[in-house]
Structure 1
């Protein structure tokens, strides 16, 4: 049977979407954060971040997804428990502000800290300033909102060598760095429309010439010549030096986005923990982000990942994932912890016990051995209360009663946290039945003894 035109194409696209959902959790977004998962530094120090995203360029073509990229990464970091996060978007990201915030971050950095640096916006290349620093003689440049080819506008950019300068400052303070560059660094290519997409822009501007350059780069004699001269830094770049970085459409997400930034945000939330051991190695981070970007871009984008020569991607941990325990305290527990409930209240339930139907009683719980409770007594070193049959039966029946009560208590889990217990009425009824059976047994024993003594006398 002949299939309709486009049928196989649609099936292939559906399969790719399902595979992507399984890879990064599109079906349940932010599931890791909602589950109490948080990101932590494997060295036990702080995690800090500076995130920059620029769409609103004043003199070159505007972008559509860089600010959304920055917002997404910031949201993921904060949801994962990172407190020291600074974000600069659009007009906030002028050169003075960028240098001020990155310098302040260097000052806050302590030994063993983990630093996230993320930039999203236009990138280009210029002739290198330090001879031999780049293999093709061209230096990567990140453009800021006010950039133009005039003397004043030439200041509004950050050179790749300047980023390396600040990264070296982080490393000298004992920190590790993860640097994400969601820009286009391809040389000689202009932004255009990808023929496979109805609408797609690229994060690159045409090559330009500065007749007057008033930029005074931040540098010193200890600056690394290239990324390979750094010691504790992992780089993730959107594309290589000869390719352009597209903005793509992501299923379930409005507007265009940078595939690299989106993939990094999901990796931070836990999708990069491939073997689910709570530790994301550099290899896991690189591999997960690369696969997600490749699928999101419909196989048109291959990211570049670089680790410093002293690092071992297979074993070096980029970050860890820890699941916190959230203690929820009910009204009764809050009352018990206050002045009114501080005298002899049952732990986790306040001064009044709550039955499984939510009705309060002043009754001491047999499963707990009174208001204090058996588990509390054992922790305090006291012996548990003796189990007795209040209805008064034979000794064997006492043991039976105790076993049944113990079995009921084990079902209730000790009732230490206000969970449901067997209904109080059912326990009392069961106790009364046991007591009646004990009394009937005693009566039968008495009658049997009497009959035997009568037959002996006769």
Structure 2
């Protein structure tokens, strides 16, 4: 090509309109373990690192503050910078893992319960509240921040892995992300704390808040992959990696995020938590809260959702359980001597078996099984190895099941109902992994039969007590061979594990898990 031809080509290229760009996503990530003036946490920084890593891998422009870096002035400046950088249609995701707390409302009549909630930063000291109250972020202030973004047409997703109130009936050894309440009335820490009192979360049009639990529940740190973690942060990180993008179109809708997070928080917290969205109902079926296509030319003719162009849907690869971190073993501490069962030499926070009493405890401190002798310990261990496999599968494609009434734990004589709605797959398996280590077959539906919702109604809680796990697997893969294993009255967790590894590992399948913790009396 001649010099003149090259020059003409460059001039023509410069004259053409630039391609439309997909909206950008920015992220502000905060995680605090070290509280010099309060009880420190164990998993909030891991949460922040995990979420930050998933954001960066997704191509988001992210900034992170952990422990002593998490000063209010630094966080406020980072937020201001992100809002200034954003344009209409962009998204800012703000995630927080650490202590939350409550205090008397700053503005009289502002809160229905008379209490303001706040995020507690490391510099806050209850013994010097007047001097250090600038190191809290009050809910009113957050409303003012959100309003700044919304005024520019910028979407906001706030993910709070902390708690502000609540108590639990389960025995959990992990720390709770709840700092003691402030009981004296403080002066507003900023002008924003006054102005923001007139702004309510449900009045925003482009702000979504995702909290780790209902206000009546605690937010405990639970053991995930052997380490203390926040179940919401872990689930949100997996969501951003793409697991919540069920149809593979490059965006995560509010409904997709809700379905994914509800199921996986329940799985990872062993039903201790129910996440809470504000607003409670999605604004539309196509409301987008996370965009996984950023700053790239928007494809011509792509589908529309919430006014934003989306990438063409592409199938998501299904990873094997081992690629997702499943090891095929658990860590087990044996109190009182005894031979170590197979598959019990894993690492991380251990399960615990008290040989003298026969009590088997989860890493979270719950009683998982009673009267576990040497004749049953292998089956109980194998159950939890199998359960870890099922949780790994569910992290990619969770299903939906429910128990009602909803409780942390059920007592002898309580009655409940279990529902498994029909899914989008042709085949379904339903079974229970009992606290005894037994596999109990409940139902199998295959293509060509009249598939329908599976229900257990008026189920009464009876002994033995501990932790059962009701499981529903839905898939288009053949399930007859797995069903044959389940239907065998001598079925064991080890046999079912092998069947699932052979038939479904790495293949598309939806997995729903419903933990069911019971005891004789509450």
Q: Does 1:153 align with 2:125?
A: no
Cα root mean square deviation, aligned = 2.7
Partner of 2:153: 174
Partner of 1:398: none
Find the partner of 1:267 among 218, 230, 239: 239
- TM-score if structure 1 supplies the norm length? 0.56
Partner of 2:216: 242
Structure 2 gaps of 5+ residues are 1-19, 297-522
Q: CA deviation at 1:223?
A: 6.3
- Contact 2:158 2:208 survives alignment (8 Å): yes
Find the partner of 2:118 among 124, 128, 141: 141
- Contact 2:143 2:196 survives alignment (8 Å): no
Distance change (3 Å), C-alpha of 1:313 and 1:244: farther
Partner of 1:72: 50
Please state which structure has a larger fraction of its residues in strand. Answer: 2
Please state which structure has a larger fraction of its residues in helix. Answer: 1
Q: Does 1:86 align with 2:63?
A: yes
- Contact 1:155 1:213 survives alignment (8 Å): no
CA distance in 2, matches of 1:316, 1:43: 19
Distance change (3 Å), C-alpha of 1:116 and 1:323: closer
Q: Based on CA coordinates, which of the two structures has the bigger radius of gyration?
A: 1
CA distance in 1, matches of 2:39, 2:55: 29
- TM-score if structure 2 supplies the norm length? 0.49
- Contact 2:28 2:62 survives alignment (8 Å): yes
CA distance in 1, matches of 2:230, 2:254: 21
Distance change (3 Å), C-alpha of 1:232 and 1:224: farther
Partner of 1:163: 142
Q: CA deviation at 1:133?
A: 3.4
- Which residues of 2 match residues 28-427 of structure 1 at below 5 A? 44-82=22-60, 84-149=61-126, 150=128, 151-186=130-165, 195-197=170-172, 199-210=173-184, 213=187, 215-219=189-193, 221=195, 224-250=198-224, 252=225, 254-307=226-279, 312-322=283-293
Divergent runs of 4+, >6 A: none
Q: CA deviation at 1:88?
A: 0.6
- Contact 1:185 1:239 survives alignment (8 Å): no
Q: CA deviation at 1:314?
A: 1.9
Distance change (3 Å), C-alpha of 1:133 and 1:288: farther
Q: CA deviation at 1:152?
A: 1.4
Distance change (3 Å), C-alpha of 1:220 and 1:175: farther
CA distance in 2, matches of 1:155, 1:324: 36
CA distance in 1, matches of 2:90, 2:290: 11
CA distance in 2, matches of 1:128, 1:138: 5
Residue aligned with 1:164, SS: helix
- Contact 1:263 1:293 survives alignment (8 Å): yes
Distance change (3 Å), C-alpha of 1:268 and 1:129: same
Residue aligned with 2:192, SS: coil
Residue aligned with 1:152, SS: helix
Residue aligned with 1:241, SS: coil
- Contact 1:236 1:303 survives alignment (8 Å): yes
